[in-house]
A and B are shown apart, each in its own frame.
Chain A
Amino acid sequence: MFLFRLKRTAKLGIKSLWMHRLRSTLTMLGIIFGVCSVIAMLAIGEGASQAAQEAIKQLGSTNLIIETVKPPEKQTDTGKVETVHKYGLTYTDAESIRNTIPDIQVVVPIREIAQQEARYLNYPKVAVRIVGTIPWYTEISPVQLIRGRFLSSIDLHHQQNVCVIDEEVARKLFIFDDPMDKDVRIQGNYYRVVGVVGARASADGQNGFGNDKTSLTNPSGGVVGNIYVPLTTAKTRFTELASSFSGGSQSIERIELQKIIVKVDSDEQVLQMRDILDASLARLHEKSDYHIVVPLELLLQAARTRRIFSIVLGSIAAISLLVGGIGIMNIMLATVSERTREIGIRRALGAKKRDIIVQFLSETLILTLAGGVLGIILGSIIPFFVTLFGRMPTVITGSSLMLAFGISAAVGITFGLYPAYRAANMDPIESLRHE
């Protein structure tokens, strides 16, 4: 019985919408574009935020990164001739952190030497970055070992001339040969390749901890990838001095460590640890020549940004849906007055007000739900093209589809109620007389 009514009502609704195809299509467009924009915007927003979260996750949510930054120049120093400008994190800092602060899983000091040239036999030179670190680097960075092994504590202890190279570096350096156990020449020293790691750890030419700040201090232009060597080896083989000329005067800088990465047990400890690190480093540093980056904070910040992003996009989409809904209401009001006589006939034949409401409401619902489905289809296609041509990641979630469908149903009911109510409350005698 109920099914029959539903079927009949739906059939009638579709029939009368089909009779005015152009009108129905135009009316539906409002909903189609509204729903489409909801889905496309959510997909783009979701894609952007997932990409951001992925990048931040690579930094490790339980990690704290202490970076060397160039301290602000003091004008009062101009009278004094400072031959070597020494600043930044030191081996002492790393030792002090490891020895004095509890609840730390691992402390990894990192020394980076940018813009070095590596060579294998007489093949062309390749620009690389030397990363001096300790074996526990793998604990804090998602290094993907492809061949061989990573640096070992024996390498570290004996200051071995060994290295682990990036996949990308391996491809450029060893054009014809297998890189394993071959020697790479850097600044006149030979380093034996003991392992190859995935390029993912060095995405966009930086190591896994790269972010905008380090790329400013260590420009990675032209660098193919990283070569990892034991920290002790890096300390003895490479100078800590870096000279640069500016305005006719030479300035020499001396930096021991570029980064110290600290890993704690859980996310909750991260923020507290930042304060502890800050306090203990402040004692050791006169100048503010370090900066603590907390990936977890970035993660939280990304979540906040994402929320704002969603709200903005959501309100734009909501406005377009509102406009679509008003369009529907307008058309339904026109339909109701056009079909006044039909309403009168139905009332005379025993239709209650409720029956008339159901009839017109279902017509609006069919219109909006059909628009919703078409909008979902169109809205699923658009992000695909955005990804294809705009090179932006997009993610269509099931919940966004449900949301869009729910919204179109809600729009149908909201904007269909008034016309249906008006239809139901027409005087049957008047409407029977209506021409």
Chain B
Amino acid sequence: MAVVDTRKLCKTYKIGSVQLPALCDVDLKIEQSQYIAIMGPSGSGKSTLLNVLGCLDRPTSGQYWLGGKDVSQLDDDELSLIRGKHIGFIFQSYNLIGQLNVIENIELPMFYQGFSEEASAEHARELAILVGLGDRLKHRPSELSGGQQQRIAIARALANDPLIILADEPTGNLDSESGDEILNILDHLHQQGKTLIAVTHDDSIAARAERTIRLFDGCIK
């Protein structure tokens, strides 16, 4: 069974009276443990697709099954729950919370899922060690390099053992060396059986992915 299954997924933005199609009839099937790269020129609908797949946005029409459940018409609270439980986000600009230290940032998704204090602290520590930051647990994001910050973001994305991990230009803000480190970690996750969907301009990511989807004007080519 496909982890992600979309049928005729459409997203139209309304600006004034003008209908602006961002996605049209996207049929996408992603199996468990696949590593997918989504590429395309800017304005082609990559971000919109990622937002819909990440349950941040609802499609205008069409269906989206995530892990066998139709999530295309859920309400806000239910979508929040799905995001927290089944989706891990990795952003281009890391999006860590500056007031929180490494451990607390990693704990955040578990906090909203109602984990106990001890369990989430322990799990967060394991994840920090996994991404190689076991010695920086009490540091603030601003005290770390970009590569280290992105590794925390990856640890955070793994916190709730999600069905899919969505990465939006994960190396976009990094130099090539730390970018490679990040990509190695993603490869490692893929080998462990995680389902990865990465949106990128970078051919080197696409080269590591099993499958590349190209978007033009909101349609898959």
Interface of A toward B, CB cutoff 8 Å: 1, 4-5, 7-8, 12, 15-16, 19, 341-342, 344-355, 428-429, 432
Contacts of A1 in B (CB 8 A): 114, 116
- Given A4-B116, A350-B113, CB of A15 within 8 Å of CB of B99: yes
Contacts of B76 in A (CB 8 A): 352-353
The reply to whether A348 and B89 contact each other, CB–CB distance below 8 Å, is yes
Contacts of B96 in A (CB 8 A): 345
Q: How far is the CA of A293 from the CA of B121 in the complex (A)?
A: 76
- Given A1-B116, A429-B57, CB of A350 within 8 Å of CB of B84: yes
- Given A4-B116, A347-B80, A349-B84, CB of A16 within 8 Å of CB of B57: no
Q: How far is the CA of A19 from the CA of B77 in the complex (A)?
A: 30
Which residues B51-96 have CB closer than 8 A to chain A? Answer: 51, 54, 56-57, 76-77, 80-81, 83-85, 89, 91, 95-96
- Given A1-B116, A346-B108, A429-B56, CB of A352 within 8 Å of CB of B77: yes
Task: Across the interface, name the chain A residue whose C-beta is closest to B95.
Answer: A345
The reply to whether A5 and B81 contact each other, CB–CB distance below 8 Å, is no
The reply to whether B83 and A429 contact each other, CB–CB distance below 8 Å, is no
Task: Across the interface, name the chain B residue whose C-beta is closest to A355.
Answer: B112
Q: How far is the CA of A350 from the CA of B161 in the complex (A)?
A: 13
Q: How far is the CA of A352 from the CA of B108 in the complex (A)?
A: 13
Q: Is the interface of A mostly helix, strand, loop or mixed?
A: helix
Interface of B toward A, CB cutoff 8 Å: 51, 54, 56-57, 76-77, 80-81, 83-85, 89, 91, 95-100, 108-109, 111-114, 116-117, 156, 160
Q: How far is the CA of A48 from the CA of B76 in the complex (A)?
A: 57
Task: Across the interface, name the chain A residue whose C-beta is closest to B83.
Answer: A350
Contacts of B89 in A (CB 8 A): 348-349
Task: Across the interface, name the chain B residue whose C-beta is closest to A424.
Answer: B76
A12 interface neighbour in B84, B99, B112, Cβ under 8 Å? B99
- Nearest 6 CB-CB pairs, A to B? A350-B84, A350-B112, A4-B117, A352-B80, A349-B109, A345-B95
Contacts of B95 in A (CB 8 A): 341, 344-345, 348, 432
A348 interface neighbour in B54, B77, B116, B160, Cβ under 8 Å? B54
Most buried by B among A1, A345, A354: A345
Report the minimum CB–CB distance from B116 to chain A (whole Å).
6
Contacts of B51 in A (CB 8 A): 429
Contacts of A7 in B (CB 8 A): 117
The reply to whether A352 and B81 contact each other, CB–CB distance below 8 Å, is yes
Task: Across the interface, name the chain A residue whose C-beta is closest to B118.
Answer: A4
Contacts of A353 in B (CB 8 A): 76-77, 80
Most buried by B among A349, A353, A354: A349
Q: How far is the CA of A168 from the CA of B108 in the complex (A)?
A: 77
